[in-house]
Amino acid sequence: MTVQRIQIDDAPLNKFHLRITALTFGSNFCDGYALGIIGIALSLLGAQMHLSPVWQGLLGSSALIGLFFGSLLLGWLSDRIGRQKIYVTNFVIITIASVLQFFVNDPVTLFILRILIGLALGGDYAVGSTLLAEFAPKKYRGSLLSALNVLWTLGYTIATLVGYFLEKTGPDSWRLMLATGAIPAVIVLLLRIGTPESPRWLISMGREQEARQIVKKYIGPNIEIDDMIAESKQVTFGFKDLFTKQIRLRTIFGSLFYVCIVLPYFAIYTYLPTILKQLGYVENFLVDTLLNIFLLVGSIAGVWFTEKMTRRGFIIYSFAVLTITLFLVTVLPMSMLTFQFIAFAIFTFVMSAVSNLTLVYPAELFPTEVRSSGTGVVTAISRVGSAVGTFFLPLMSLTSSMIGMTLVLLLGTIISIAWAPETGRLTLNEASNPLHRKDSAFSEVASNILK
């Protein structure tokens, strides 16, 4: 009986694919938890340490600053030494730094620890989604990658609930809040030990036999990688190519669309209790909880949208809705709180749903040789935007900051209409090939803009 040979991009979904997805969830959950918990902790430690608005902004954006350096440097390093080593080491750093937050007595030490946590999380953004994309079959790649955002949202939501309950235990409860981040981190660390290296990366390094052994062991004995080997030999890219004519269009688009999503997302939801109070919600715990539910439901719905819609259509329509709804939240008076809440709920749902693409698009935009580097670069640039928004929001009036973020979303709409490529339902090599025929319209429009 002849065994049917199947290429890795067409492999059936198996337990290993689900396992690598679950392990990659860890960084997204921990990132969401880290962002959610700091907003509540700041309301306590701010008074205790007599923090100025500048220090509040720095501590609120500290993990995002670390994410910038981590995604940039560790993404580049991953393309040199492999995905697996960094995939495990990241969570050693997160676990230790999270525990040490319990013992801090000054904002400088806390700032450094938050930077370290962000550094490791940034590296995991670059490496985790890359490793998952390089193992996932094309049929399930979008769903598996977009599902990562569900766990980010779950982490953020759980952190909010934990923070609210721990807040009642006393003025030093912020220490326990921040230290609880070590619990999911150590679980992920232990489970990640033994994760195999990416076969695509091994092939790019000329280690084809090792790649075949991993594919046979984890994907299936009848799974072939000949097409992947042949495609990898056609064009070879290096880090500098991210900024040359062939790939720079994807680097620019990936960076800008990512910034336009995460800048308002992180700024608004880091300081959500404060924003709700300024908008006129006296009992903001209920409103905060409802919006967190919309965040969670939106992230789950986003998995379905990613699967059923084109990447290009999903991002364009989402940016348009976000621009309109955030503008309404900003301009509607307190006498129309019900309509304002409806607009805020729609904004929250769509923002959470489209954020799934921040974990799908980058992994599909770049060739294997620079996939981690490219993902790292666009993630790093996005974190500059999110850190800026998070830092300046406490220093500006609410109306000014909300109008500014509305303009950022409008820019995202324009960029997506002009530049967004379609990468769905292609093999990973086709999706990441800037010369692929389905990318020609995008390249032509973007090239004309850049001239």
**Above 80 in pLDDT, residue 64?**
no
Predicted local distance difference test score (pLDDT) of residue 177: 92
Q: How confident is the model at residue 448 (pLDDT cuts 50, 70, 90)?
A: very low
Predicted local distance difference test score (pLDDT) of residue 405: 92
Segments making up each domain of the chain, as ranges = 11-195+235-450
Mean pLDDT of 215-222: 88
Mean pLDDT of 412-441: 70
Predicted local distance difference test score (pLDDT) of residue 408: 94
3-state secondary structure 62-112: HHHHHHHHHHHHHHHHHHHHCHHHHHHHHHHHHHHHHHHHHHCCCHHHHHH
* Vertex 170 angle, CA 117 and 290, to 5°: 70
Give the highest mean pLDDT range of 119-128, 259-268, 361-370: 259-268
Mean pLDDT of 184-190: 90
**Above 70 in pLDDT, residue 233?**
no
State percent of the chain over pLDDT 90.
23
Q: Which of 75-79, 113-117, 407-411 has the lowest mean pLDDT?
A: 75-79
Q: Nearest-CA neighbor of 367 among 224, 256, 239, 223?
A: 239
Predicted local distance difference test score (pLDDT) of residue 434: 59
Q: Is 178 helix (H, G, I), strand (E, B) or coil?
A: helix
Terminal-to-terminal C-alpha distance of the chain: 59
Predicted local distance difference test score (pLDDT) of residue 441: 43
Q: What is the pLDDT of residues 83-111, one digit of tens each?
A: 888 888 888 999 999 999 999 989 999 99
Q: What is the pLDDT of residues 252-311, one digit of tens each?
A: 999 999 999 989 988 887 777 778 888 888 767 788 788 888 988 998 999 899 888 998
Q: At what angle do helices 357-365 and 107-135 cross, to 10 degrees?
A: 60
Q: Is 7 helix (H, G, I), strand (E, B) or coil?
A: strand
**Above 50 in pLDDT, residue 393?**
yes
Q: What is the DSSP string of 246-260?
A: TTHHHHHHHHHHHHH
More confident residue, 409 or 266: 409
- What's the CATH fold of domain 11-195+235-450? Growth Hormone; Chain: A; (1.20.1250)
Mean pLDDT of 393-415: 89
Q: Which of 59-63, 97-101, 157-161, 199-203 has the lowest mean pLDDT?
A: 59-63
Q: What is the pLDDT of residues 1-56, one digit of tens each?
A: 445 677 778 888 889 988 888 888 777 888 888 877 887 888 788 778 888 878 87
3-state secondary structure 363-406: HHHCCHHHHHHHHHHHHHHHHHHHHHHHHHHHHCCHHHHHHHHH
